[in-house]
Amino acid sequence: DAGVTQSPTHLIKTRGQQVTLRCSPKSGHDTVSWYQQALGQGPQFIFQYYEEEERQRGNFPDRFSGHQFPNYSSELNVNALLLGDSALYLCASSLAPGRPLHFGNGTRLTVT
């Protein structure tokens, strides 16, 4: 059991569409981070949410946005999908920013 749950597990979208991915953090964790993992690559940091605000952001365009809810769950939204957005999207939660991350199983997004 990962503790961190993500939905859906797989998703197929068409170029130009929009997608929303969801994440529930491990119980007791209030910080959520999102990562993109392309095939054969390590996870790339997208952004981190803490106290319902985006606290840090990686080198991703504004098409990538997110939200954190009062129950600490989080959403990742990607607009105007590109073929290059095809990847495994990982959600990770932690007790606080900078603490060890606990990862979910990820959402596999395929853009056709």
Partner 1 sequence: AQSVSQHNHHVILSEAASLELGCNYSYGGTVNLFWYVQYPGQHLQLLLKYFSGDPLVKGIKGFEAEFIKSKFSFNLRKPSVQWSDTAEYFCAVNAGTGRRALTFGSGTRLQVQP
Binding site for partner 1 (CB under 8 A): 2, 4, 33, 35, 40-45, 48, 56, 58, 90, 92, 97-98, 100-106
d(CA 47, CA 55): 7
How many other C-beta atoms lie within 10 A of the C-beta of residue 44? 15
Residue among 78 and 106 whose Cβ is closer to partner 1: 106
The least CB distance from residue 64 to partner 1, in Å, is 14
The least CB distance from residue 16 to partner 1, in Å, is 29
How far is the CA of 87 from the CAs of 26, 47, 55, in angstroms?
23, 16, 23
d(CA 36, CA 86): 9
Residue among 30 and 103 whose Cβ is closer to partner 1: 103
Residue among 14 and 98 whose Cβ is closer to partner 1: 98
